[in-house]
Structure 1
Amino acid sequence: MREWWIQVGLLTVPLIAVYLHIPPPHISPTLNSWKTAGAFFTFKGNHIFYRDSLGAVGSSDVVILLHGFPTSSYDWYKIWDRLDQRFSRVIALDFLGFGFSDKPEKLPVLFLCCRIGAVFGPYTQPTDGEFWDMWTGIRINDGHLVMDSILQYINQRLKHRDRWVGALTTTTVPLHLIYGPLDPVNPHPQFITMYQ
């Protein structure tokens, strides 16, 4: 009888090969509409997707929206129009390695691997179509092939914590943090109180 690890290998290798070569899912009409309304800029040779719209007349407030992990700027699609009515300019981007942005092999970016439904509250769970759009965002530009690089987020959180928190606490720009209280990776309550 063969060793157990040989049997596991015989099953695993074909599954990995299939996973690496599955074509990306088709972009839904909603996700395609999001992409069509955006554009790209180039940063250090990488194409970064963003949305930028002029909104409310008479307001001078600009809001820059940063998406969560492992998602994209598409996180904001449900409230984009309402933000447009409140702010003079609304900007969102896909971080390098996410959404429609480039996904180079070596990424100094963030990623979180967990049950994605756990980061949403009980009344804001994504629909099956929205989960599919999130997966599509990961798969675009072969993002599933760079997961090992973007998983470095776990180590970067510890390594760069003082620098990141320091930047947040010393900024003179008005800052608001939005987080889900049930999100298993949300900031520690003591951290949040610094910004209230």
Structure 2
Amino acid sequence: MALPGIALDAWRAQGRDFAFGGHAIRYWTAGEGEPLLLIHGFPTASWDWHYLWAPLAERYRVIACDMLGFGDSAKPRGHDYRLLEQADIQQALLAHLGIDEPVHVLAHDYGDSVAQELLARHEDGGFRMASCVFLNGGLFPETHRPVLVQKLLLSPIGALVGRRFDRRRLAASFAKVFGPATQPGEAELDGFWTLIAHNGGPAVMHRLIHYIPERRQQRERWVAAMQRSKVPMRVIDGAVDPISGAHMVARYRELIEGADTVLLDDIGHYPQVEAPEAVLKHYLAFLARIDERSSV
């Protein structure tokens, strides 16, 4: 049975704000139980999780925010956006909500890097993580294959490219990274673009894109944390994603002992949008297995 999702207007109406470093961060929370933190990707926002939101909220206290520079959160023009700061924002949100217990994390794309930082902090004693599941993302810089617009945003003309980024270019980029049979519809593209364009978002895209070199800077620390951690981890990955599909999973299996991976055939870069039912099934099975182990 298809998951109904949440219309963008209804989603936005449920959001609330908290302040971080003088900037307004929009966040959402629902449900009760163990905390489950959802971390979105680039260049979109937490609405990416709208198909999974209600089913997960039936079992967990789900929490998500639009990170700084994204969606309905502040997008300061001259800001030096950093993945480490985005991890700080996740921790500040949890503190704002009074959550100090171990947190499950489900992340995608750019959010994978934020989750890797949180995992490294867990290993250093600065965060409490109960589990971590990665959807398609650049877990290893050596396997990340950026699309053309990402390369251009990183170039000397990045600011100009960002300002000229529009719905048509978004649709063209997404057509290349979604699966051939799971392309986004016009209404979905409208929603994605509305959140990107809000509050002058294209003007900061060339600053946000510096997560790509930052991943290279943090690679050894993050991979080492993944290799030594006892936190249960799983990768659920759209196999035909040209950015971080089956080739990234192959590298994950090389580097992570006892790698727990699920490949979704014919699915691209946004599995939570393209195949939310499959993602939900494999995610809940992963959490159920953790519960079984803890009860033994």
The residue matched to 1:49 in structure 2 has which SS? strand
Taking the aligned partners of 1:143 and 1:108, their CA distance within structure 2 comes to: 16
Taking the aligned partners of 1:35 and 1:130, their CA distance within structure 2 comes to: 14
Q: Does 2:55 correspond to 1:78?
A: no
Taking the aligned partners of 1:135 and 1:88, their CA distance within structure 2 comes to: 29
Query: What are the within-5 Å matches in structure 2 for residues 2-21 of structure 1?
Result: none
Corresponding residue of 1:139 = 197
Gapped regions of structure 1 (runs ≥ 5)? 1-28
**More displaced stretch, 118-127 vs 36-45:** 118-127
The residue matched to 2:55 in structure 1 has which SS? helix
The residue matched to 1:135 in structure 2 has which SS? helix
Superposed CA offset, 1:63-101 (max 9, x none): 21111221111111122112122x221112212111111
What is the total number of aligned residue pairs between the two structures? Answer: 163
Corresponding residue of 1:189 = 249
Equivalent of residue 91 in structure 1, options 22, 46, 63: 63
The residue matched to 1:79 in structure 2 has which SS? helix
Higher helix share: 2
Whichever residue aligns with residue 39 of structure 1, its letter is R
TM-score for the superposition, normalised by structure 2: 0.49
Q: Does 2:12 correspond to 1:32?
A: no
Superposed CA offset, 1:7-45 (max 9, x none): xxxxxxxxxxxxxxxxxxxxxx92121111121221222
Q: Does 2:210 correspond to 1:163?
A: no
Equivalent of residue 178 in structure 1, options 221, 224, 236: 236
- Paired residues of 1:67 and 1:73 also in contact (CA < 8 A): yes
Corresponding residue of 1:102 = 74
Give the aligned CA root-mean-square deviation in angstroms: 2.5
Taking the aligned partners of 1:79 and 1:121, their CA distance within structure 2 comes to: 19
- Paired residues of 1:119 and 1:180 also in contact (CA < 8 A): no
Taking the aligned partners of 1:171 and 1:104, their CA distance within structure 2 comes to: 35
Q: Which has the greater radius of gyration?
A: 1
Gapped regions of structure 2 (runs ≥ 5)? 1-5, 84-109, 112-145, 151-172, 261-296
**More displaced stretch, 185-194 vs 75-84:** 185-194
Q: Percent identity?
A: 37
Taking the aligned partners of 1:45 and 1:185, their CA distance within structure 2 comes to: 34
